[in-house]
A and B are shown apart, each in its own frame.
Chain A
Amino acid sequence: MPDIDFFAFFRFWLATIVTIYASVITLQSFRSWYFWLAGNDKYSSLLRRYLLVHGLRLRFKTFWGDVLICGLLCIAFFIIWHAQIVLNDANDTLKSSKTDTTHVQRAVQHS
């Protein structure tokens, strides 16, 4: 009987679908913005410069707290991911050692 972990199954497919969905939405948004701003007329050029000026006038101090928290959360997320990988490896090792022990016991019984 196959050993299926339903939680791991759900987690894997949820992560995959959500990642693909978010990537598609983000790329679509970037594409529409790019085509909107890439115009050659003077109004598009004016808009580009205006956006650039607004970007330069952005006050980082207003958001620096939230940005810091986002950075720390990203680091925490990658640490948890790494811990998950380590734990999975440990589980695999445990399973393989258990299988090896069973095989050895069977071989001893046959002999």
Chain B
Amino acid sequence: MHQNRTLTDGGWKSRAVIKKILLSRWTKALLFAACLIPLLNLGWRAWNQDLTANPIEYITHKTGDWTIRFLMITLTVTPLRLLLHEPQLVRFRRMLGLFAFFYASLHFSVWFCLDKFFDFSEMGKDILKRPFITIGMAALLMLIPLAVTSTNGWVRRLGYKRWQRLHRLVYLIALLGVIHYYWLVKSDVRLPLMYGAIWAVLMVPRGVEWLRKRSRSTATVAG
């Protein structure tokens, strides 16, 4: 795959080492553990009664923060893979995406159980009346089919093309997450804008790819 480049022996060797690390079972296990750190941190703080004066708000915000971060990290995998010429990176994408779903579910559960106290009618009213909750809820619901069809079995069942089309829904989900955050804050929009900018940057390679494919197909038609 690197035919056009002249690489020194050392270069090849380090490539091989990186490949070995990426393929190692341990790397995946380590990453899995790392993804649990935010949850462990919350647990540790709860144990030490260090969840600020308003623990429920704190937990809600932290799980929300990590949902949007994991969505952005998941969206980074493909551009990074192309940039570094390391296709093996894709091995981690499913896990990262599932962690986004995991933290989103926690985010929702904390809100529903501790803020709404299992009151379905209150929850329903909020979802209908508050636009930021409406789209947050929509984003969470859209994550469910992606989580369900994240297995190899489902890729086969759907066929890769169709599976890929379905999973592009994550672009919209991440954008809804950004808007959800933007509408939630009172006035300091710096962080939501930052996530919006990250989202836009991550969409650039996708846009380029889409334009390239389109011009190729129109070229074929014209030809």
- A and B assemble together: no
Contact surface of A with B, Cβ cutoff 8 Å: none
